[in-house]
Amino acid sequence: MQVEKVDTLVIGGGQAGLAMSEHLSASGLSHLVLERHRIAERWRSERWDSLVANGPAWHDRFPGMTFPRTGPDGFPPKEEVADYFVAYAEKIAAPIRCGVAVTKVEPHAGRPGFRVETSAGVIEADNVVAATGPFQVPLIPSVVPADTGIQQMHSSAYRNPGQLPAGAVLVVGAGSSGVQIADELMRAGRRVYLSVGPHERPPRAYRGRDFCWWLGVLGLWDLETREPGMEHVTIAVSGAHGGYTIDFRRLAEMGMILVGRTEGCRDGVMSFAPDLAENLARGDASYLSLLDAADAFVAANGLDLPEEPEARRIGPDPDCVTHPIRQLNLADAGITAIIWATGFGVDYSWLKADIFDERGRPRHVRGVTALPGLYFLGLPWQSRRGSSFIWGVWHDAKFLADRIATRHKYMAYHEAAG
């Protein structure tokens, strides 16, 4: 069998794979990107129809190109985001092959480099960058048996309200996906129950600046590790309808029924933890602490930004918070569908290397593994909080390209020296 040889093989043609390609090219390093479907496939087929970016167009992009249709302060729809990456691949002339899946990667025995099996043949690569996404495998906790007659789906399979049977809906998880889907269903006239766990909810904007700007100037996108105890805390933001602050009390006022963290289901009865008020209070505290930090920054830097005292008003607790539902009979509540907005896991079963921890996550330092020539890109918190976001991955790719160039230099010397 013909074996193709490449210097660096990048697996995945999402934003991470493209950022990697740009920086490898800029360093004069030959490479190939393999994408099993289409460029930025997840933005096309693994997001709901109405999704827009959570960050404004000026912020959630690569430095070298603006969004063509959405203005800087707008939130690009998901198709525009996908189109953006297709155009970007053309702009940087990325050497990308679509429709080719990598099925196995293993290090050579006794020599550097990797043997890569793909749906289109075998490749040998000196370096491999796994850029297969931070959010790969939908996670649905095994709480509700499949035979209850209730339609269950993960948020990545949700498209629009018309996809669900008539009736009420339970959305589990109140991060950005869960809360946006719950809001869309409520606006479509559905009775919606939303199970709210620990979360942060920054203001969409404060004193005339988007929260993405505030997190930037306050250095919070650059945090290198999660604060202890915050590992399972999700962030609830939305760019929908021009962007608005997630305020759970306001959603309850509009008719949404909030419940605590989902604990279990027995004989068609869901049970929820008694933590709803506490989760909302913690979300409020994170919200108010960002306002405090923003005010302090304005004062310290003498910025001329309009004051916004009304942003500090926290509404009264709605009835569903003061009298929380702990048990809910799904049939009695008319619930016909459950949407699990409960996050994602990873699957690196195709990568035969001893670099994973007990939970299957890669061990690495800023994407560099202990196995020479093997790198990861696009992991959550790869180098900092911003790592899995469009703009953050671009900076991580730059770092990795530098590492690959350095390794290339040493190997080139070795070969030239004989």
Ligand X SMILES: Cc1cc2nc3c(=O)[nH]c(=O)nc-3n(C[C@H](O)[C@H](O)[C@H](O)COP(=O)(O)OP(=O)(O)OC[C@H]3O[C@@H](n4cnc5c(N)ncnc54)[C@H](O)[C@@H]3O)c2cc1C
Q: Which residue from 6, 53, 57, 259 is in contact with ligand X, where contact means CB under 6 A?
A: 53
Q: Are 151 and 338 in contact (CB under 8 A)?
A: yes
Among 211, 287, 389, 394, binds ligand X (CB under 6 A): 389
Q: Does 394 bind ligand X (CB under 6 A)?
A: no
Residues 385, 379: Cα–Cα separation, whole Å: 10
Q: Does 55 bind ligand X (CB under 6 A)?
A: yes
The verdict on 362 binding ligand X (CB under 6 A) reads no
Q: Of these, 4, 37, 187, 191, which contacts ligand X (CB under 6 A)? A: 37
Q: Which residue has the tokens 């025995």?
A: 109
Nearest CA-CA partner of 330 in 151, 187, 83: 151
DSSP category for residue 57: T
Phi, psi torsion values for 404, nearest 5 degrees = -65, -40
End-to-end CA distance of the chain: 29
Are 270 and 328 a contacting pair, CB within 8 Å?
A: yes
- Indicate the SS3 state at residue 255: coil
Sole binder of ligand X in the list 8, 22, 32, 41 (CB under 6 A)? 41
Stretch that binds ligand X, among 130-138, 161-169, 215-223, 394-402 (CB under 6 A): 130-138
Identify whether the C-beta of residue 99 lies closer than 8 Å to the C-beta of residue 36: yes
The residue from 50, 58, 135, 216 that contacts ligand X (CB under 6 A) is 135
Measured N-to-C along each axis, helices 390-417 and 15-26 cross at an angle, to the nearest 10 degrees, of 40
Does residue 378 bind ligand X (CB under 6 A)?
yes
Indicate the residue among 172 and 335 with the shorter CB distance to ligand X. Answer: 172
Q: Is 88 in the site for ligand X (CB under 6 A)?
A: no
Task: Considering only the stretches 22-30, 35-43, 228-236, 271-279, report the one whose residues sit in contact with ligand X under the rule CB under 6 A.
Answer: 35-43
| Residue of 60, 210, 247, 396 that binds ligand X (CB under 6 A) | 60
Contacts of residue 162, Cβ cutoff 8 Å, sequence gap at least 6:
none
Query: How many CB atoms are closer than 10 A to CB 354?
Result: 9
- Binding window for ligand X (CB under 6 A); candidates: 33-41, 89-97, 213-221, 242-250: 33-41
Nearest distance, CB of residue 154 and ligand X, angstroms: 11
Binding positions for ligand X, rule: CB under 6 A:
11-17, 34-37, 41-42, 47, 53-55, 60, 101-102, 131-135, 177, 350, 378, 388-390, 393
